[in-house]
Amino acid sequence: MPPHRGLRPVLATAFAQTGKGPYLRSRRELSTLVTASASLSSPRQPLRRYPPELILIPIPIPQPKPTFPPSSLMSHQQRRYASTRPEPEEELKHTPLYDLHVSLGAKMVPFASYAMPVTYPDLSHKESHLWTREHASLFDVSHMVQHKLSGELAEEFLMTVTPSAINELEKHRSSLSCLLNDEGGIVDDTVISRIGKDSFYFVTNAGCREKDIAFIDEHISKFLKAKGASGDQINWHVLDHHALLALQGPEAASVLQSLIFNDTEDESLDTLLDTLYFGSSRWLQLTLPDSGMNTPSLLISRTGYTGEDGFEISIPPENGNATELATNIAKALTADSSKVRWAGLGARDSLRLEAGMCLYGHDLNEKITPPMAALGWLVGKSRRVDNPTPAFNGHQIINKQLASPKTMTERRVGLLIEKGPAAREGAEIVDPENDNHIIGHITSGSPSPSLDGQNIAMGYIKNGFHKKGTPVGVRVRKNVRKAEVAKMPFVPNKFYTRPS
């Protein structure tokens, strides 16, 4: 047995639905053990700082089959938005909000083994993108994998598989980071939050789920064995069936603030979002207007993937799954359609590209190191030494690249491309003086809705061609189009940061 036999991911599973009636809630009927917890049908609940742990026995859940657009459209959207090969229709998974998306008429596409909304009927892709920049949009990102890691060795373990100075991370602060293989390549990108002295919450990509779980499991085993430590010194849970909502845009804060429950009996709790800055999180309750009831405590982080101010809300499966709770929260957040509307994968992809943010499997992979990806800033200053303590995977390669950038063969850059068809993933970047000389390749590209259709892209280019303003060519449909290396983000980020 591996030393952390009891540390395999705890997969919280959902209550069954009969198909004819409402969700069964009887412990006797379901033969399921659930810790006592608040429900939306109960009276107003006192504030709880932390959601309860759940222990649930797996029960199969009948699901309706997802419906999809014609195969030609689906293939196009897979290339644009999917980070993994599409699964057969019957194998696609559903987020807790799947039924709500279908009821709203969302166009569903395969993405990382899930049926996910790409657009909604009320707005086109471009309109939804611009709406997010001008107002606020709600994204269902429940397909992302949420983790909790705790224990006296949790911090040290994270510092062996990431380049971040996790030991310097304050409580309720977050850091963009990445999981690294032994060669310093990026296994996945992640956001890590310290939620307690020895406990952390982090989110990884849905398309990397199986790979990431195997990676973390293997590295915990190796770490504990090397330390001669016992399994109970690290506890790792995969928070399956938690929902995750991202509210993004300039009106996000005012809309969310209007729903936050202010506990007058606990004056020590700060419920004002004015003091919650980018990269910070807080446990808060929401009051749902339709019922007047309070939600349980939710982990709300001021972060996002659009370049706009915004929040991510982790919703626990308090009564077996997060469907009812997540649906009620989503309806409350989108109640005023003059401020907030639903947005799908289409807008999310173009927003993150304008913000210069990477999509794993496209702009990042296991052969790319943080310095190559222009993410050298992820490496903590205290970690940029010959023998960091503890040592992190690939530190010799990564720190050499940071000290001597010319040792890198290629780097991620932004590109502005002349009018015409957009440069998509795989397009060749060429020397403008010799278009037979390939100097790089595009990893993401599209017209920018915020820049009146200006073609933008990011990709990897040979050292020496990476400086801002360098003219290059991009081969699009056999024609070489003029382009220029540009600074990212293409659209200024609007994060709500702490005053300097």
pLDDT at residue 175, as a whole number:
97
pLDDT at residue 186, as a whole number:
99
Looking at per-residue pLDDT, the higher value among 160 and 60 belongs to 160
Looking at per-residue pLDDT, the higher value among 22 and 125 belongs to 125
Residue 407 amino acid letter:
T
User: Helix, strand or coil for residue 148?
Assistant: strand
Q: What is the mean pLDDT of residues 1-8?
A: 38
Residue 148 placed within a domain: no
Residue 301 placed within a domain: yes
Among candidates 153, 152, 136, which has minimal Cα distance to 334?
Answer: 136
pLDDT at residue 408, as a whole number:
98
Q: Are residues 256 and 137 in the same domain?
A: yes
Q: Are residues 56 and 132 in the same domain?
A: yes
User: Helix, strand or coil for residue 11?
Assistant: coil
Q: What is the mean pLDDT of residues 90-115?
A: 95
Residue 132 placed within a domain: yes
Among candidates 465, 448, 342, which has minimal Cα distance to 413?
Answer: 465
Residue 346 and residue 303: Cα distance in Å, rounded? 19
Q: What is the mean pLDDT of residues 188-207?
A: 98
Among candidates 84, 135, 184, which has minimal Cα distance to 334?
Answer: 135
Residue 211 placed within a domain: no
Q: What is the mean pLDDT of residues 18-42?
A: 29
Q: Are residues 284 and 415 in the same domain?
A: no
Burial grade of 291 (CB within 10 A; 0-12, 13-18, 19 or more): exposed
pLDDT (tens digit per residue) in 57-66: 333 334 444 4
Question: Does residue 383 contact residue 398 with C-beta atoms inside 8 Å?
Answer: no
Is 340 a residue whose pLDDT tops 60? yes
CATH number at residue 414: 2.40.30.110
CATH number at residue 135: 3.30.1360.120
Residue 64 placed within a domain: yes
Residue 311 placed within a domain: yes
Side by side, the strands of the sheet bearing 235-238 are: 174-180, 186-196, 199-204, 145-150, 235-238
Residue 100 and residue 152: Cα distance in Å, rounded? 41
Residue 313 and residue 329: Cα distance in Å, rounded? 10
Find all residues with CB under 8 Å of 387, minimum gap 6, and list them: none
Percentage with pLDDT > 90 across the chain: 78
Domain end: 317, 335, 350, which one? 350
Is 477 a residue whose pLDDT tops 50? yes
Structure tokens at 145: 């994998």
Binned at pLDDT 50, 70 and 90, residue 91 comes out as confident
pLDDT at residue 322, as a whole number:
76
Residue 251 and residue 132: Cα distance in Å, rounded? 9
Question: Does residue 9 contact residue 237 with C-beta atoms inside 8 Å?
Answer: yes
Among candidates 213, 209, 193, which has minimal Cα distance to 311?
Answer: 193
Question: What is the chain's mean pLDDT, rounded?
Answer: 86
- Cα 328 to Cα 102, 141, 299, 357: the distances in Å are 16, 16, 16, 30
Question: Does residue 92 contact residue 115 with C-beta atoms inside 8 Å?
Answer: yes
Residue 7 placed within a domain: no
Is 74 a residue whose pLDDT tops 60? no
Domain end: 333, 350, 367, which one? 350
**Domain, as residue range, for 473:** 410-500
pLDDT at residue 267, as a whole number:
72
> How many domains does the chain divide into?
2
Measured in whole angstroms, the distance separating CA 86 from the mean position of its chain's CA atoms is: 19
Among candidates 149, 151, 253, which has minimal Cα distance to 192?
Answer: 149
312 is annotated as contributing to ligand binding? yes
Q: Are residues 131 and 59 in the same domain?
A: yes
Residue 31 placed within a domain: yes
Among candidates 105, 101, 112, 102, which has minimal Cα distance to 77?
Answer: 112
Is 447 a residue whose pLDDT tops 90? yes
Q: Are residues 333 and 423 in the same domain?
A: no
Binned at pLDDT 50, 70 and 90, residue 318 comes out as confident
Residue 431 and residue 409: Cα distance in Å, rounded? 16
Q: Are residues 133 and 265 in the same domain?
A: yes
Q: Are residues 310 and 421 in the same domain?
A: no
Residue reference for tokens 């939804």: 128
DSSP-derived letter for residue 106 is P
pLDDT (tens digit per residue) in 224-283: 999 999 889 999 999 998 999 999 999 999 999 999 999 877 777 899 999 999 999 999
Side by side, the strands of the sheet bearing 340-342 are: 281-284, 298-301, 310-315, 243-248, 136-140, 340-342
Residue 103: enclosing H or E segment and its boundaries? Answer: helix 98-103
∠ CA(350), CA(352), CA(356), 5° rounding? 115
Residue 66: enclosing H or E segment and its boundaries? Answer: none
pLDDT (tens digit per residue) in 404-424: 999 999 999 999 999 999 999
User: Helix, strand or coil for residue 493?
Assistant: coil
Residue 261 and residue 273: Cα distance in Å, rounded? 12
Q: Are residues 414 and 344 in the same domain?
A: no
Looking at per-residue pLDDT, the higher value among 51 and 285 belongs to 285
Instruction: List the single range of 44-58, 80-94, 127-141, 370-384 with lowest mean pLDDT.
Output: 44-58
Domain end: 350, 378, 397, which one? 350
Q: Are residues 327 and 425 in the same domain?
A: no
Structure tokens at 28: 């006797």
pLDDT at residue 263, as a whole number:
81
Q: Are residues 127 and 43 in the same domain?
A: yes
- Give the count of beta carbons closer than 10 Å to the beta carbon of residue 459: 28
Question: Quick one: how many helices (H) and strands (E) in the chain?
Answer: 10, 19
Q: Are residues 289 and 431 in the same domain?
A: no
pLDDT at residue 41, as a whole number:
32
DSSP-derived letter for residue 423 is P
Q: Are residues 424 and 315 in the same domain?
A: no
